[in-house]
Amino acid sequence: MSTETNETIAGDNSSENQPKLGINSWKPLEHLGDSLSPKNGSNNANMRRNASFGNMLPSTTKESKVRVIYTGGTIGMMRNESNVLIPIPNALVKMIRKYPNMHDQAYAEKRFGTAAGMAPLILPFIDGIPNRVVYTITEYNPLLDSSNMTTDDWVHIAKDIHQSYEFFDAFVVLHGTDTLAYTASALSFMLENLGKTVIITGSQIPIFDTRTDGKDNFTTALSIAGNYVIPEVCVLFGNKLMRGNRTIKVSCDDLNAFDSPNNVPIGRIGINYEIDYRLIFRPCNISRFVVHADMDVNVGLLRLFPSITSSTFRAFLAPPMKGVVLQSFGSGNIPSNRKDILEEIRAASERGVIIVNCTQCSNGSVAEIYDTGKVLKALGVVPGYDMTPEAAVTKLSYVLGKRDWTLEYKKQVMQSNIRGELTAESPLMEDYDLIEAVARSLHLSSPAELSQLGATLFPAMLNAAVLAGDIKKINSLKAYGADLSGVNHDNRTALHIACHEGNLPIVNLLLQHGVSVHIRDRYDRTPLMEAVSVDHHEIIQLLLSCGAHLTGSMRAIGEQLCSAAARGSLLRLQSFQLAGADLAQVDHSGRTALHVAALHGHVEIVEYLVKNYDDINGKDKLGLTALQYAKMIEHEEVIKLFGDGSS
Ligand code: ASP
């Protein structure tokens, strides 16, 4: 695939000849008043990360930003003069702007004024869905039929997500359906420690065709991505939201073309979205999001059939092959009476080829029930349990790309559950005794009532345990089936509370259990902002190491910096700096913390900021520099700190 990317947010009049813009296409916003003040030039990550439309919003509206990566496939195709479906470069955004069920032009105009035609797209209001989704579409060039996609294209998508990870709340990938399950599986492994929602979708009928399924798939994917933190690579298709590495394409013509045969869907799409939070697979490492792009292409899928010859085996397993998914019969069986085949498998295994045993059945898992299954393990073949062929082969590619892992470790990882892709042992029944006892006394019995009760009681009990600093209780609530990632009525997680309480051990525990650092509460505050608000630097550092970053309006951060400077709180300024804020960020009056500190005569802060600013001569909206403020209050000590070169 070409590495060219068209950032297609330009307006109708310019989109015919789409300019090749990068992520800087969000630039029109700068004309709207929330201008960015880079500390280290225009590529400064802090600058971009905080780009926001906050000052343009009615105070009650929450927005989330979603980046759509359009790779090709039926979904975006249009009919040419001969009524043949083809991908037309740069046409998707242009068309979407004309469809009021995919873009809210009135909101865009109110929000972005005259720049609305160039601005990002806005998903129309959906009843019951809190966040307005602001989205931008990155169109790949050329647009690909997914049958033509390769490992390089997965790397392209993964890198695009990585490059813009901090600027968006979630990602939607538009993709052809034919190899969509492979891409979803591959990305699930490549995106390590993913903390944000990634949804891949496509359609059976093009998005602008009258009977399209593409419009529903697309808008549902957008609204889920913009409203739920599901730190997984998911596939949204028809009425299901599925774990990506569990999906297979099951039909060429059914609108429910994908299934997840060995894993219950994470969500059901009906009139409402029913997302089951307990099914979300959460990364439980204290590590930042990274992309593993080094995928080994010397892998393959070998499907057994009666009378397959040993020469087929020999040819297939020959170098440079390094990893093979053997699609065996039933629950993992091969013909144990075929010594010729067994010999080929043994020889390859001894050469270091990793052979993974997966079943040909779409449903079920390999297990050593029969002698014909046991024989493979003795030859060094690794059980792949209930992995789909797509997951198994892409996982092999990922694992083999880990150059510093030993062969033994790679084999161990192949049979371990690393992204929810396999069920290695039968799931343990969670202990619901507590909820059941309360349910009995309230005469509640249906599964829906029980789960409602759990959803009501657990967050409150969890919050109380966090406030009390009671780690033992948190662990026992978890054992009772509480979802540690659950939110209360203010959309606050236990992690928000633990950060606000400054309780490092509990923050650590919650992060180890995969609680997301990206959930914003009703006031748009993340756990990181809570940690900043109590100046807990160790917690700030821990959150950053899990991929947390500042979000929201830069101006709002500017206001807070100025307010800290006015109060004389050097510690707060340091907390913001540690969290990634640019200390030179301006507030709505164009003032920086340095202006305010100078005005208030806070010597220690001025001294600190002068050392940390690239330019100490910035002017506020009154045209005044920080030094001029110091002169106005005739504070000699502060004036001296500006040195001779200042104005
Ligand atoms: N051949 C198309 C593709 O995978 C089919 C589709 O998009 O549904 O790109």
Which of 435, 439, 392 lies closest to 415, judged by CA? 392
**Contact assessment for residue 398 and residue 323, using Cβ atoms and an 8 Å cutoff:** no
Which of 515, 516, 514, 548 lies closest to 531, judged by CA? 548
> Which run of H or of E encompasses 350?
helix 339-351
CATH topology of domain 299-414: Rossmann fold (3.40.50)
Residue 175 Cα, ligand 1 centroid: separation in angstroms? 7
Q: Is the shortest distance between the CB of 188 and ligand 1 below 6 Å?
A: no
Place 369 in a pLDDT band, splitting at 50, 70 and 90. low
**Contact assessment for residue 503 and residue 466, using Cβ atoms and an 8 Å cutoff:** yes
Q: What is the CATH number of domain 554-641?
A: 1.25.40.20
> What percent of the chain is helix, strand and coil (3-state, nearest 5)?
40, 15, 45
Query: Judging by beta carbons within 10 Å of its beta carbon (0-12, 13-18, 19+), is residue 261 exposed, middle or buried?
Result: middle
CA atoms within 13 A on the CB side of 617: 5
177, 182, 217, 258: which to mutate for ligand 1, most atoms within 8 A of CB?
A: 177
Topology match between the domains 299-414 and 433-545 = no
Q: Whose CA is nearest to atom 7 of ligand 1?
A: 176
Q: What is the C-alpha separation between 350 and 542, in angstroms, rounded?
A: 43
Q: What is the C-alpha separation between 489 and 467, in angstroms, rounded?
A: 16
Place 116 in a pLDDT band, splitting at 50, 70 and 90. low
Mapped to the 3 state alphabet, what secondary structure does 540-580 carry? HHHHHHCCCCCCCCHHHHHHHHHHHHHHCCHHHHHHHHHHC
Query: Judging by beta carbons within 10 Å of its beta carbon (0-12, 13-18, 19+), is residue 141 exposed, middle or buried?
Result: middle
Pinpoint the alpha helices (H) of 37-82: 45-49
pLDDT for 451: 72
The string of pLDDT tens digits covering residues 187-220 is 999 999 999 999 999 999 999 999 999 999 999 9
178, 183, 218, 237: which to mutate for ligand 1, most atoms within 8 A of CB?
A: 178
Q: What is the C-alpha separation between 498 and 485, in angstroms, rounded?
A: 12
Give the homologous superfamily in CATH for domain 433-545. Ankyrin repeat-containing domain (1.25.40.20)
Angle between helices 339-351 and 310-317 (to 10 degrees): 10
Determine the residue type at 119.
Answer: A
Q: Whose CA is nearest to atom 3 of ligand 1?
A: 176
Q: Measured from the CA of 204, which atom of ligand 1 is nearest? A: 8
The string of pLDDT tens digits covering residues 565-595 is 999 999 999 999 999 999 999 999 999 999 9
Q: Whose CA is nearest to atom 1 of ligand 1?
A: 145
Of 78-92, 415-429, 564-578, 626-640, the range with the lowest mean pLDDT is 415-429
DSSP states of 280-295 as a string?
-----SS---EE----
Domain ranges of the chain: 4-8+69-291, 299-414, 433-545, 554-641
Q: Measured from the CA of 148, which atom of ligand 1 is nearest? A: 9
Q: How many CB atoms lie within 10 A of CB 80?
A: 10
Residue 178 Cα, ligand 1 centroid: separation in angstroms? 5
**Contact assessment for residue 186 and residue 155, using Cβ atoms and an 8 Å cutoff:** no
Q: Is the shortest distance between the CB of 202 and ligand 1 below 6 Å?
A: yes
Q: Is the shortest distance between the CB of 73 and ligand 1 below 6 Å?
A: yes
Q: What is the C-alpha separation between 295 and 366, in angstroms, rounded?
A: 26
φ, ψ of residue 319 to 5 degrees: the values are -55, 150
Query: Judging by beta carbons within 10 Å of its beta carbon (0-12, 13-18, 19+), is residue 330 exposed, middle or buried?
Result: middle
Residue 585 Cα, ligand 1 centroid: separation in angstroms? 46
Place 142 in a pLDDT band, splitting at 50, 70 and 90. very high
Q: Which residue has the tokens 């057994």?
A: 304
Exposed e or buried b per residue across 26-53, where buried means at least 16 C-beta atoms within 10 angstroms of its C-beta: bbbbeebebebbebeeeeeebbbbbbbb
Residue 182 Cα, ligand 1 centroid: separation in angstroms? 13
Does residue 427 have a cis bond before it (omega within 30 degrees)?
no
Does residue 320 have a cis bond before it (omega within 30 degrees)?
yes
Q: Is the shortest distance between the CB of 620 and ligand 1 below 6 Å?
A: no
Q: What average pLDDT does range 317-340 have in this prediction?
A: 95
For Cα atoms 267, 547, 402, give the angle at the middle one, nearest 5 degrees.
85
Q: Whose CA is nearest to atom 8 of ligand 1?
A: 177
Q: What average pLDDT does range 413-440 have in this prediction?
A: 71
pLDDT for 436: 65
Quote the distance between the C-alpha of residue 380 and its chain's center: 36
Q: Is the shortest distance between the CB of 25 and ligand 1 below 6 Å?
A: no
Residue 204 Cα, ligand 1 centroid: separation in angstroms? 8
Determine the residue type at 27.
Answer: K
Q: Is the shortest distance between the CB of 212 and ligand 1 below 6 Å?
A: no
The string of pLDDT tens digits covering residues 254-304 is 999 999 999 999 999 999 999 988 889 987 788 999 999 999 999 999 999
**Percent with pLDDT over 70 in the chain:** 85
Q: What is the C-alpha separation between 154 and 168, in angstroms, rounded?
A: 19
Q: What is the C-alpha separation between 163 and 554, in angstroms, rounded?
A: 20
Q: What is the C-alpha separation between 586 and 583, in angstroms, rounded?
A: 9
Q: Is the shortest distance between the CB of 183 and ligand 1 below 6 Å?
A: no
Q: What is the CATH number of domain 4-8+69-291?
A: 3.40.50.1170
Active site residue 183: no
Place 455 in a pLDDT band, splitting at 50, 70 and 90. confident
Q: Is the shortest distance between the CB of 146 and ligand 1 below 6 Å?
A: yes
The string of pLDDT tens digits covering residues 6-55 is 444 333 333 322 222 233 333 323 223 232 222 333 333 333 333 333 33
Residue 384 Cα, ligand 1 centroid: separation in angstroms? 28
pLDDT for 285: 80
Q: Is the shortest distance between the CB of 145 and ligand 1 below 6 Å?
A: yes
- The active-site residue out of 5, 8, 71, 74 is 74
Q: Measured from the CA of 178, which atom of ligand 1 is nearest? A: 4
Q: What average pLDDT does range 68-86 have in this prediction?
A: 93
Exposed e or buried b per residue across 348-379, where buried means at least 16 C-beta atoms within 10 angstroms of its C-beta: bbeeebbbbbbbebeeebbebeeebbebbeeb
CA atoms within 13 A on the CB side of 322: 17
Residue 105 Cα, ligand 1 centroid: separation in angstroms? 30
Q: Residue 475 above 60 pLDDT? A: yes
Residue 180 Cα, ligand 1 centroid: separation in angstroms? 8
Place 3 in a pLDDT band, splitting at 50, 70 and 90. very low
pLDDT for 192: 96
